[in-house]
Amino acid sequence: MIIYIIRRLLYTIPIVFGVLLLTFVLFTLVGGDISIEIAGKGASAATINEIRQEYGLNKPLFLSWDSQFVNHFKSALTFDFGRARDREPVIDKIKRGAGPSLALMVPIFVGTIIISVSLALIIAFLRGTVWDSLTVIICVAGMSIPYLSFILFGQYFLAYKWGLSPVFFSPDLSMAQYTALPILIGIVTGLGGEVRFYRTVMLDEMRSDYVRTAFAKGLSTRRVLFKHVLKNAMIPIITRVVLAIPFLFLGSLLLERFFGIPGLGYLMIEAIGSRDYFVINAMTYISAILFVIFNVITDICYAWVDPRVSFD
Amino acid sequence: MIERKIKKGRSLWQDGLRRLWRRKLVMVCFAVIVLYFLLTGFIYSAELFGWKVGPTQWQESVGKSYEPPGRENIFGTDIFGQSVLRKMLYGTKTSITVALCASLISLLIGVPLGAIAGYFRGFVDEIIVWVYSTLSSIPYILLILAFAVVLHDKSLFGHKLTGITTVYLAIGLTSWVGICRLIRGEVMKHKEREYVLAAKSYGCSNSRIIFKHLLPNVFHLVIIDFSLRFVSFIHAEVILSFLGLGEAERPSWGAMINDARIELSRGVWWQMAAATIAIFLISLALNIFGDALRDSLDPKLRVQ
């Protein structure tokens, strides 16, 4: 088991290397020198030079121990991403944004899983009835409504029109006050796809031989569902759940933007607006690292839940 | 004498399409999809041949702004007095073009790479798997945004990348991973089958085996995958345009929603409603059609 974990960890090295290579190509080679943009219109050559110096953009691209290529790797491995365009260290911005993002995303995440898995179980119980088809129709319709419309109409009616919640974030509100509506919207938007996914998972399990055996033994439907099906459906559920966790870090770009919550999604949108490659680069890298780590955790979870998974 | 009826064999495609034809709802969805494509084609030909279909400048005032929906304008007018209905119809062109080009790019990258990786295995396979594992370890939306930000206003082979070109490049270059993985897995399975062995034993070249024998046998999976992926391309286009990384000169649904963000507080809901309806209809049609296509073409599901 230990050897399996170590091997799995070693396997992440090329992926991290790949991500760093990709971000280097994107932001340094393709993105190019943005010092002129940072300096603003009509800046003197001296100012531009100063900015180049400050961000290390005047160094050679490759072939030197102090090249941009080497520095890109160095900064990523030490988690020191330099300064953003407004001269604040990128890592400070990210640390500051992580709290509000998590406060928003963790309830959405947990709420969506609990509601969608239990709904899917109920539907597997009622399979073939009108309720089943009705739920599928609602799910498909829900998946087809654009995310932006959910947010905008939710904000418009619930917050602006009926005043059930503050429209925008403001620092003197408590966390529960300003996150309640975004959380509700986040959960509702996700439900369509999630319920449908878990329903398929449950129904796939319902078709397997052990379920037939269980029914043949005379077990009640409820017992078969909760005792057998749910346990066996855990593998796809775990995969989906664990692999979704790193995406929580990013927060919900759009929800945060609409409600003005100063999280990482908001930071990202701001960075896109001002073409702040330094921030986007750091966010890309950190989320990839998280994804890789959680991927390893999923594999270990697999080995732990499913005795059929071998450690080779 | 017993007369024996000889049942003519039907191919996977004939069989699948017959099943689809019987389901009326699916055919309605298919008609909706065709309608969107026809509309796109119509707008392109109108631009190409210079047919007069209303004002061509979108940022120019042509009438009373924010007129509510009525007899003259079904969906009212926007700040410039432009008909929102027309904007919605023109937005179709932007979305369908982006989704089509993005599909094409990701097919052209994903299918050959997946087939090569699955067929040759070894070192080539490892490199390709490494590339797509790297891409898929970055959250999809972040990856698209990073590509779009970097590509925005860059020039490629002397062409300046503006508007929708950036959008479909960003989407296409980032979303070939799924199809590549799918094709690689299928090719690995099919490689061991008798027909491939037979082709090998007559001395077919590797490229002939891949393109003439293997790919046609897995291609229905590509179609199924893309009918469902198309929806996500449309939604991605809407989000990119909304964030200002897409089309700026011509109407797009994302930009309409962005306008509506400010308008809603003044009670101007029609632009939002028009964009939502347009996106909702095509997504619903594609979702239902894609599911039906999968049910009727995927042999694994058909047995039950």
Above pLDDT 70, what percent of chain A?
94
pLDDT at A28 over 70: yes
pLDDT at B40: 92
How close is the nearest chain A Cα to the Cα of B92, in Å? Answer: 15
| Complex-level ipTM | 0.83
Where residue A95 falls among pLDDT bands split at 50, 70, 90? confident
Mean pLDDT calculated for residue range A218-230: 84
**Cα A276-B167-B85 angle, rounded to 5 deg:** 120
Cite the DSSP H helix spans in chain A. 2-24, 35-39, 45-55, 68-77, 90-125, 130-144, 147-154, 175-206, 209-216, 221-223, 230-232, 234-249, 253-259, 264-273, 277-305
A 9-28 residues with CB below 8 A of B? Answer: 14-15, 18-19, 21-23, 26-27
pLDDT at A250: 60
Q: How far apart are CA B240 and CA B145, in angstroms?
A: 8
pLDDT at B68: 76
A152 touches chain B (CB under 8 A): yes
pLDDT at A312: 55
DSSP state of A30: I
pLDDT at B303: 42
Q: How far apart are CA B295 and CA B277, in angstroms?
A: 27
Query: In 3-state terms, what secondary structure has residue A89?
Result: strand
Mean pLDDT calculated for residue range A293-298: 85
pLDDT at A309: 66
pLDDT tens track for B135-188? 988 888 888 888 888 887 776 666 666 678 888 888 999 989 989 999 999 899
Q: Count Cβ neighbours within 10 Å for each residue of B172-196 and write b for 16 or more, e otherwise.
A: bbbbbbbbbbbbbebbeebbeeeeb
CA-CA-CA-CA torsion sign (B69, B75, B80, B82): negative
Contact indicator for A260, A164 with CB cutoff of 8 Å = no
Where residue A231 falls among pLDDT bands split at 50, 70, 90? confident
**Region of residue A78 (left: phi > 0; alpha: psi -120 to 50; beta: else):** alpha
How close is the nearest chain A Cα to the Cα of B225, in Å? Answer: 16
By residue range, what is the domain housing residue B93? 18-42+75-297
How close is the nearest chain B Cα to the Cα of A45, in Å? Answer: 23
**Cα A216-A218-A221 angle, rounded to 5 deg:** 100
Angle between helices B122-136 and B177-190 (to 10 degrees): 150
pLDDT at B5: 66
Contact indicator for A278, A143 with CB cutoff of 8 Å = no
Measured between beta carbons, the chain B residues lying within 8 angstroms of A22 are 134-135, 138
Quote the pTM value.
0.86
Q: Flag if B287 and A140 touch (Cβ within 8 Å).
A: yes
B246 touches chain A (CB under 8 A): no
Mean pLDDT calculated for residue range A290-303: 83
**CATH classification of the domain holding B112:** 1.10.3720.10
Q: What is the pLDDT along chain B (304 residues), one digit of tens a residue?
A: 566 666 666 777 777 777 777 778 888 999 999 999 999 999 888 888 877 766 667 777 777 777 777 777 777 777 777 778 888 888 899 899 999 999 999 999 999 999 999 998 889 999 999 999 999 888 888 888 888 888 877 766 666 666 788 888 889 999 899 899 999 998 998 888 898 889 989 888 888 888 888 888 888 888 888 888 899 999 989 988 888 887 777 888 988 888 888 888 777 888 888 999 999 999 999 998 888 888 887 766 544 3
pLDDT at A245 over 70: yes
pLDDT at B112: 92
In a domain, B83, yes or no: yes
CATH superfamily of the domain spanning A97-305 = MetI-like (1.10.3720.10)
Measured between beta carbons, the chain B residues lying within 8 angstroms of A207 are 304
Q: How far apart are CA A265 and CA A250, in angstroms?
A: 6
B 115-134 residues with CB below 8 A of A? Answer: 130-131, 133-134
Q: How far apart are the first and last CA of chain A?
A: 10
Most B CBs within 10 Å, among A272, A275, A294, A298, to test the B interface: A272
Q: Point out which residues pair with B159 in neighbouring strands.
A: B156
Q: How far apart are CA B110 and CA A300, in angstroms?
A: 29
What does pLDDT average to over chain A? 82
